[in-house]
Amino acid sequence: MNEQDLIAERKKAAEHNDTARLAALETAALKRLDDFLTDENPVDSDDVPFFFAFVRAFSDTENGDLKLCAKKAEAKLLPMLKEFDRETGLDFSEPVPSEVLERNLNDLDAFEKQDISKNPKFGQIYGLMMKIEQIDDDGNVLKPADLAESIADAGKLKTYLRLCLNLDKITEETYFGTLLEEMERLLITLFVMDKAGEPLDENEMRAEYEKLLNAID
């Protein structure tokens, strides 16, 4: 059973309140994390974001050993995530105190659990995304809600990367402001493909976003 299977099975078990199944899945997840931490079963660079999602999913647990392993795995994944997405601009050359990293991970986890679709700050971008229909390579029309979910998930990952090593405490204003910026940038790159490979500065991003708003409205 791979990481994505474990996530799916865990969700089913939680929905049915199957505590025995949950315990078995958490045991399997703990073994996978141990193997990762000891380099017995490393993660391919292309699979880093998926493994990150697996780690975050199983970090929400009452199992102390699993929670600790998940925190260690997150810390180990940080340089790998940076390599996967260079445009974040993170600098890993300076060590971050373990207590600061733990504080940031806890704060980010709490913010990520909030439903941003109901947050007025995100009203405009959600209204915009719900007007967009994409067509995949097979000619299938993708639902706007699926696009919104993908943009939000990717935005949360990028926000995590930008803020996880902050020495200053991450405030709610900082988190959601950064998340909105990343979601806008991701949405823009869907339509401005020639600039997708290089970061837009703040003025360029705002100009492109306004163009997108006007074009869709």
Q: Report the chain (217 residues): mean pLDDT per 10 consecutive residues.
A: 79 89 94 93 76 82 92 86 60 61 83 93 92 73 82 87 84 96 85 55 74 70
- The confidence score (pLDDT) of residue 116 equals 96
Angle in degrees, 0-180, between the axes of helices 98-112 and 172-191, rounded to the nearest 10:
70
User: Is pTM, for the whole model, over 0.75?
Assistant: no
First to last CA, the chain: 46
Contact 117, 179 (CB under 8 A): no
- The confidence score (pLDDT) of residue 175 equals 97
Contact 187, 125 (CB under 8 A): yes
Angle in degrees, 0-180, between the axes of helices 98-112 and 64-84, rounded to the nearest 10:
90
- The confidence score (pLDDT) of residue 186 equals 85
Separation between Cα atoms, residue 52 and residue 70, nearest integer Å? 10
Helix (H) or strand (E) holding 24, with range, is helix 19-37
- The confidence score (pLDDT) of residue 194 equals 45
- The confidence score (pLDDT) of residue 165 equals 74
Query: What residue has token string 């697996």?
Result: 54
- The confidence score (pLDDT) of residue 18 equals 93
Concatenated DSSP letters for 65-102? Answer: HHHHHHHHHHHHHHHHHHHH-GGG----SS---HHHHH
Separation between Cα atoms, residue 80 and residue 144, nearest integer Å? 31
